[in-house]
């Protein structure tokens, strides 16, 4: 599983006492790193799922592009507050979360690119993709290479 951000990065956005409150389900008085790691991994997995269409063979990113780190941090912080049932209108990360989601959707469609990452060669992909086999009146036509 990829992790594109860290506890230290989260602490740059969320104060320690607030991070404790957001993760300390057992009331130990400290950050529950298991919970935090799960949220970070989930946010990173969300990013991977959104860009896999374009960057699948390069996942997980290594080195991690700065935009990916930034989006992972935003998504992690947003999800930590959502986990605590903070409504979107009170979640200070909602707007950045929506921006990240919109950008990732554009990447998934091939309309935007991740910084510092080489895209796969779509021309090469077009030559290796097989068409679908269709049946007509009980007859199957063989697949052909484009």
Q: Would you say residue 143 lies in a domain? A: no
**By C-alpha distance, which of 117, 6, 121, 1 is closest to 63?**
117
Name the residue range of residue 88's domain: 7-116
Q: Would you say residue 75 lies in a domain? A: yes
Q: Would you say residue 79 lies in a domain? A: yes
Q: Would you say residue 44 lies in a domain? A: yes
pLDDT at position 115 is 81
DSSP code per residue over the chain? ----S-HHHHHTTS-HHHHHHHH-TT--SS--HHHHHHHHHHHHHHHHHHHHHHHGGGPSPSSPPHHHHHHHHHHHHHHHHHHTT--GGG-TTHHHHHHHHHHHHHHHTTSS--TT-PPP-HHHHHHHPBPPP-EETTEEPPP-B-
pLDDT digits (tens, 9 = 90+) for 97-131: 999 999 999 999 999 999 866 555 444 444 333 33
Mean pLDDT of the chain: 84
- pLDDT category at 10 given cuts 50, 70, 90 is very high
- pLDDT category at 32 given cuts 50, 70, 90 is very high
Q: Would you say residue 36 lies in a domain? A: yes
**Residue range 133-138: mean pLDDT, rounded:** 41
pLDDT digits (tens, 9 = 90+) for 79-95: 999 999 999 999 999 99
Q: Would you say residue 57 lies in a domain? A: yes
- The number of distinct structural domains making up the chain is 1
Q: Would you say residue 142 lies in a domain? A: no
Q: Would you say residue 107 lies in a domain? A: yes
């Amino acid at each position: 599983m990829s992790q594109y951000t860290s506890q230290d990065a989260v602490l740059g956005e969320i104060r320690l006492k607030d991070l404790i409150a957001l993760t300390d389900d057992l009331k130990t008085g400290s950050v529950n790193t298991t919970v935090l790691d799960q949220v970070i991994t989930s946010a990173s997995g969300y990013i991977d799922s959104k860009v896999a269409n374009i960057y699948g063979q390069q996942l997980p990113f290594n080195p991690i592009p700065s935009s990916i780190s930034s989006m992972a941090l935003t998504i992690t912080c947003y999800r930590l507050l959502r986990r605590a049932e903070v409504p979107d209108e009170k979640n200070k990360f909602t707007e950045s979360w929506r921006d990240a989601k919109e950008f990732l959707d554009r990447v998934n469609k091939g309309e935007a690119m991740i910084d510092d990452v080489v895209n796969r060669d779509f021309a090469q992909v077009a030559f290796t993709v097989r068409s679908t086999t269709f049946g007509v009146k009980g007859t199957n036509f063989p697949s052909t290479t484009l």
